[in-house]
């Protein structure tokens, strides 16, 4: 055995000699190391090759390389306090169009690998500021029973949001950014924010109103069928989770009833900015209308990726032509800086329909990055 190792070392050595003759000389860092609290520890003494730092494509994929913490395990969560947590909700069995958003969380994480650095627009580096940001992985949700899965997600939100924070001077309740999952998953998030902060205003980016009465969308077949990705805002209103000054942005899909759906939408507390209103109002006008609607209240921002035009986000369940560009959406989101965002999500990402160039998941990751930046920019007690 020793002989084998020796000859292997010898051949490596001769390979090194040959390649150092042929190849251009490359200067490696003096020593490979892991970063510790008191400086660098050599990984293997004298080893010139670093295998511990520096790659966006190594290790297991978390959102933007943020550390993975199993937030469902007491000892782990308590030993790593966090201020903002990413939580995947792989659930897609309450959709009216194409399924596939259960793969959204992993798709968005893949799209987020190159995120980082200081924004040229805001000057902020959300990953290196006061907040300890972690990825809690996905909530374990059954795919065979929607009622049970949503109870699991309710509990996951309850647990993740009840952990201690690290920067207690900036807030004592961790805030969650959910990676969806179909839009039904927002209901669990709103139940959780209501528990901590009471009813909140919802800024809802979507091509659909999602306040449909369960007897209208779902056909009134059963109570079970009425809980779906087009009724969750109606249910949130019924449960008293949202306040009466919420707003939709980017609406363009047809309604089911010519007048009843709008009446019901107003009753659920919503005002509408249609997709084509952006042409008339511009980004600043849209931002102004959102801010004057929600005033100083705490807000939850929910982004259905289908608010984007299918050209920019083809990988979604119910795509509607005539939507925003990615740049327009990001401009609006970044301009909401200053609002107290207590929770957020990006949902309805179904990677199976994406382009090979990851068009949708890259956009969704950047949206989540903007949502994180809003939370870091404005701490909430
Ligand atoms: Mn939606």
- Provide the pLDDT confidence category of residue 6 given band limits of 50, 70 and 90: low
Cα 378 to ligand 1 centroid, rounded to whole Å? 26
Q: What angle, 0 to 180 degrees and rounded to 10, lies between the N-to-C axes of helices 359-377 and 326-334?
A: 10
Express each pLDDT in 139-155 by its tens digit: 999 999 999 999 999 99
Would the pLDDT of 12 be above 60?
no
The pLDDT value recorded for residue 44 is 57
The pLDDT value recorded for residue 30 is 44
- Provide the pLDDT confidence category of residue 220 given band limits of 50, 70 and 90: confident
Cα 230 to ligand 1 centroid, rounded to whole Å? 6
The pLDDT value recorded for residue 33 is 45
Point out which residues pair with 223 in neighbouring strands: none
Binding-site residues for Mn(2+) sit at: 183, 206, 208, 210, 304, 306
The pLDDT value recorded for residue 181 is 96
The pLDDT value recorded for residue 110 is 97
Q: Is 85 helix (H, G, I), strand (E, B) or coil?
A: strand
Task: Taking residues 123-140, report their average pLDDT.
Answer: 97
Binding-site residues sit at: 183, 206, 208, 210, 304, 306
Cα 204 to ligand 1 centroid, rounded to whole Å? 8
Burial of residue 102, with CB atoms counted within 10 A of its CB: 0-12 exposed, 13-18 middle, 19 or more buried: buried
What is the C-alpha separation between 133 and 303, in angstroms, rounded? Answer: 20
Instruction: Give residue 272's Cα distance to chain centre.
Output: 23
Q: Is 210 helix (H, G, I), strand (E, B) or coil?
A: coil
CA torsion 335-112-377-77 (nearest 10°) is 150
Cα 249 to ligand 1 centroid, rounded to whole Å? 11
Flag the least confident range among 18-22, 114-118, 167-171: 18-22
Express each pLDDT in 15-55 by its tens digit: 444 444 566 766 554 444 455 555 545 555 566 777 777 67
Q: Is 229 helix (H, G, I), strand (E, B) or coil?
A: coil
The pLDDT value recorded for residue 55 is 75
The pLDDT value recorded for residue 24 is 72
Looking at residue 6, the DSSP 8-state letter turns out to be H
Cα 318 to ligand 1 centroid, rounded to whole Å? 9
What is the C-alpha separation between 176 and 254, in angstroms, rounded? Answer: 31
Q: Is 321 helix (H, G, I), strand (E, B) or coil?
A: coil
- CB within 8 Å of 299: residues ≥ 6 apart: 200, 201, 202, 203, 339, 340, 341, 342
The pLDDT value recorded for residue 7 is 54
Task: Taking residues 237-243, report their average pLDDT.
Answer: 98
Express each pLDDT in 336-380 by its tens digit: 999 999 999 999 999 999 999 999 999 999 999 999 999 999 999
What is the C-alpha separation between 152 and 158, in angstroms, rounded? Answer: 10
CATH topology of domain 63-377: 3.40.800
Cα 17 to ligand 1 centroid, rounded to whole Å? 61
The residue extents of the domains of the chain are 63-377
Q: How many percent of the chain have pLDDT more than 70?
A: 87
Would the pLDDT of 224 be above 60?
yes
The pLDDT value recorded for residue 51 is 74
Q: Is 86 helix (H, G, I), strand (E, B) or coil?
A: strand
Cα 229 to ligand 1 centroid, rounded to whole Å? 6
Q: Which two tokens stand for residue 37?
A: 């609290």
The whole-chain average pLDDT of the chain stands at: 91
Antiparallel, parallel or unpaired: β 201-205 and 246-251: parallel
Cα 375 to ligand 1 centroid, rounded to whole Å? 22
What is the C-alpha separation between 365 and 111, in angstroms, rounded? Answer: 6
The pLDDT value recorded for residue 29 is 47
The pLDDT value recorded for residue 58 is 81
Q: Which two tokens stand for residue 310?
A: 């299918």
The pLDDT value recorded for residue 11 is 54
What is the C-alpha separation between 35 and 42, in angstroms, rounded? Answer: 9
Express each pLDDT in 51-108 by its tens digit: 777 677 888 999 999 999 999 999 999 999 999 999 999 999 999 999 999 999 999 9
Count CB atoms within 10 A of the CB of residue 343: 28
**Phi/psi at 32 (5° precision):** -75, 140
């Amino acid at each position: 055995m020793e002989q084998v190792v020796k000859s292997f070392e010898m051949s490596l050595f001769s390979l090194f000699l040959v390649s150092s003759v042929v190849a251009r000389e490359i200067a490696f860092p003096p020593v490979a190391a892991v970063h510790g609290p008191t400086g660098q520890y050599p990984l293997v003494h004298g080893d010139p090759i670093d295998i511990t730092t520096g790659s966006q494509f190594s290790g297991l994929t978390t959102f933007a390389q943020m550390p993975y913490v199993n937030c469902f395990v007491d000892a782990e969560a308590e030993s790593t306090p966090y201020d903002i947590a990413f939580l995947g909700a792989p659930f897609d069995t309450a959709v009216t169009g194409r399924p596939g958003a259960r793969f959204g969380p992993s798709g968005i994480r893949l799209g987020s690998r190159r995120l980082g650095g200081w924004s040229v627009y805001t000057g902020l580096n959300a990953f290196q500021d006061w907040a300890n940001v972690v990825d809690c992985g996905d909530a374990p949700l059954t795919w065979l029973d929607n009622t049970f899965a949503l109870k699991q997600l309710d509990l996951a939100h309850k647990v993740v949001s009840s952990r201690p924070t690290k920067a207690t001077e900036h807030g004592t309740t961790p805030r969650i950014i959910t990676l969806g999952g179909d839009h039904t998953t927002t209901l669990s998030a709103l139940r959780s924010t209501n528990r901590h902060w009471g009813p909140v205003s919802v800024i809802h980016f979507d091509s659909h109103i999602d306040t449909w009465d369960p007897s209208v969308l779902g056909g009134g077949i059963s109570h079970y069928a009425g809980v779906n990705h087009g009724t969750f805002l109606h249910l949130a209103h019924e449960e008293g989770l949202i306040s009466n000054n919420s707003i939709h942005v980017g609406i363009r899909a047809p309604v089911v009833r010519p007048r009843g759906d709008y009446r019901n939408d107003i009753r659920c507390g919503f005002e509408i900015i249609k997709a084509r209103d952006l042409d008339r109002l511009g980004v600043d006008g849209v931002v102004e209308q959102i801010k004057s609607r929600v005033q100083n209240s705490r807000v939850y921002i929910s982004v259905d990726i289908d608010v984007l035009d299918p050209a920019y986000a083809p990988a979604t369940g119910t795509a509607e032509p005539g939507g925003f560009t990615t740049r327009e959406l990001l401009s609006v989101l970044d301009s909401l800086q200053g609002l107290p965002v207590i929770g957020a999500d990006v949902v309805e990402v179904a990677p199976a329909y994406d382009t090979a160039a990851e068009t949708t998941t890259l956009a969704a990751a950047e949206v989540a990055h903007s949502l994180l930046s809003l939370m870091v920019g404005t701490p909430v007690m």
